[in-house]
Structure 1
Amino acid sequence: MGIDEYPPHKTIHTAVFQDTTYGDIDAKKPQADFLWRGLFPSGNGLVSVSKSDREAHGLSETWPDPDTPGNGLFFMAGYHNLHCLAKIRTSVFESQAQKNQSEPWAHVMHCIDQIRQTIMCNIDTTLVPMSGPKEFKDGHYHVCKDYRDVFEWASQHRPVVAPEDSEAE
């Protein structure tokens, strides 16, 4: 198994992208906020990996897990990206409501750049049909990793002490 296959993501499927309740605003925003919080597994994507798994998959040295001798702590990049997207989302809503920004500007800009790099690394080559000169159609297929599989793996490998769920937002 190569480094790009660890953690394992055995299930690949197709998904149809379309507008969802994650993008709701105004009166429905509290429901969307609840859904966004549910994107993070227990531990928010911080995982504890054994020394043997680190060596077998060529993972870098990392901070030791204080509760499991020999294990090391890693933060799954996908959850870092979701954390960043959640911070940008909060910043946009605060700006739209003309509220003071709760996140430092440098953090928001770090998050934008982090997501840019990830999109460029994982560029989706799906051909998206157009409904007009500047309008994209929803409802076409993409090939995706199974989010539930990754979510469950992250939850199962959560360290004993991990960030609170509220810290992910």
Structure 2
Amino acid sequence: MNKLEKLERTEFAGLKRNVPVPWSVYGPYDNRSDPEATDKEWEKISNIRLGVIALPDSYVEEKGLHKAQRFPWDESKGVYLINAYHNLHCLLKLRTSLLEFHRGEEQSGSFAHVTHCLDALRQDIKCNADDTPRWSGYGHRITGVDQVRMCRNWDLLDEWSKTFPSCWNKIPSIEDINERFSYCPVDSPYADRIIETLGSKNHLGE
């Protein structure tokens, strides 16, 4: 891989902008004629468990990352949240808040969490500084419709995250941190320690 190719790839998962995707309006995530179908599409992307990863300290040192809280089942690893998944979490949080407001429902999340997410997305927008000129179109006031831009492959990000599994899953009814990190395969190298720590409260294989 030459120097230019390295610059084109993301630092961690090695992703490139090589997936053509057009800007769209009123698609499956904004289907105004069928709100229930829209809700189902958002539900499909609502679980960010793959975004929580356990990185070896050697990798962290090599990449110049801050040392994070310890992974419960291996003290030589730290727990990290991939930024794209954090952004997705925040987008979902904002959508929930907006829908609850629109429907006249009580807010399920705190105002502080909503404003945190709003600012997190602001920071990423400013950081990325996307300079793509969106065409103004004709006959409507929405810019960029059907204009193709090059995106990164989210499926490849998923695959990269799986190389650093943390076995994490956030279930609202579960408050025990160790229990949240017990969603490992039954043949996981951490299985014995998980069973020793949690007993029947483990979630191996789920």
Per the TM superposition, whether the score is higher than 0.5 is yes
Equivalent residue number for residue 148 of structure 1: 155
Partners of 1:166 and 1:35 in 2: CA distance:
21
Q: Answer yes or no: is the 8 Å Cα contact 2:134–2:143 preserved in 1.
A: yes
> 2:125 is matched with which residue?
119
Q: Offset of 1:25 from its aligned partner?
A: 4.2
Which residue of 9, 15, 31 corresponds with 1:24?
31
- Does residue 68 (structure 1) correspond to residue 74 (structure 2)? The answer is yes
SS in 2 for 1:99: coil
Structure 1 residue 136 displacement after superposition: 1.2
Q: Give the match's secondary structure for 1:47.
A: strand
Aligned pairs, number? 164
User: Residues 77-106 of structure 1: CA distance to partner in whole angstroms, max 9, x if unpaired?
Assistant: 111111111011011111111111111111
Secondary structure of the residue that 2:151 maps to in structure 1? strand
Amino acid of the structure 2 residue aligned with 1:23: D
The answer to whether the Cα contact below 8 Å between 1:48 and 1:74 also exists between their aligned partners in 2 is: yes
CA RMSD of the aligned region, Å? Answer: 2.6
Aligned ranges for residues 38-49 of structure 1 at < 5 Å? 38-39=44-45, 43-49=49-55
TM-score by length of 1: 0.83
Query: For the residues of structure 1 that align with 2:11 and 2:61, how far apart are their CA atoms?
Result: 14
| Bigger RCO of structures 1 and 2 (CA < 8 A, at least 6 apart) | 1
* Alpha-carbon contact 2:22-2:148 (below 8 Å) kept: yes
Percent same amino acid among aligned pairs? Answer: 26
Structure showing greater radius of gyration is: 2
Unmatched segments (≥5 aa) in structure 1: none
Match of 1:94 in 2: 100
